[in-house]
Amino acid sequence: MTDFCDKDALHPVVVARFLFTRKFPCAQRALGFDVSGVDLEVAGDKVTLNGAVNSRAELEKIVLAVGNTKGVATVENNLIAPDYDPEQPSGIHIVVAGDTLWKIAQEHYGDGNRFQEIFEANKPMLSDPDKI
């Protein structure tokens, strides 16, 4: 059995499956999410997230982690965060074939050299800036 407290053994899909069970708080810490105020409901392949988180960045990472879990087709996001404004565009970029972090940084920031900021913001879902 995988040691869920061994950060090197963690895989985002495995962690997402156990993220909300409260049985593996070390997995939550490894991903950097505080999910203490989040409730999760599962109905078939649909996951509904309810509750509050600390920031919009955390909210978006949680939604992405759950949405990228094998067997999850849709995520209904009912999470709230103090700095979340649903009228503002999301910081989420849908990756398509041919995308690179450089290209995304150039598109969103006007400077491809800022790709490292995108990489850092998306850890641990990205393990290498050249593999997205």
**pLDDT tens figures, 37-87:** 888 888 888 888 899 988 888 888 888 878 877 778 888 999 999 887 767
**Mean per-residue pLDDT, 95-100:** 90
pLDDT at 115 over 90: yes
**Mean per-residue pLDDT, 27-35:** 62
Instruction: Give me the half-sphere count of Cα atoms (radius 13 Å) on the Cβ side of residue 84.
Output: 16
Q: Please tell me the pTM assigned to this model.
A: 0.59
The Cα 2–Cα 23 span in angstroms is 14
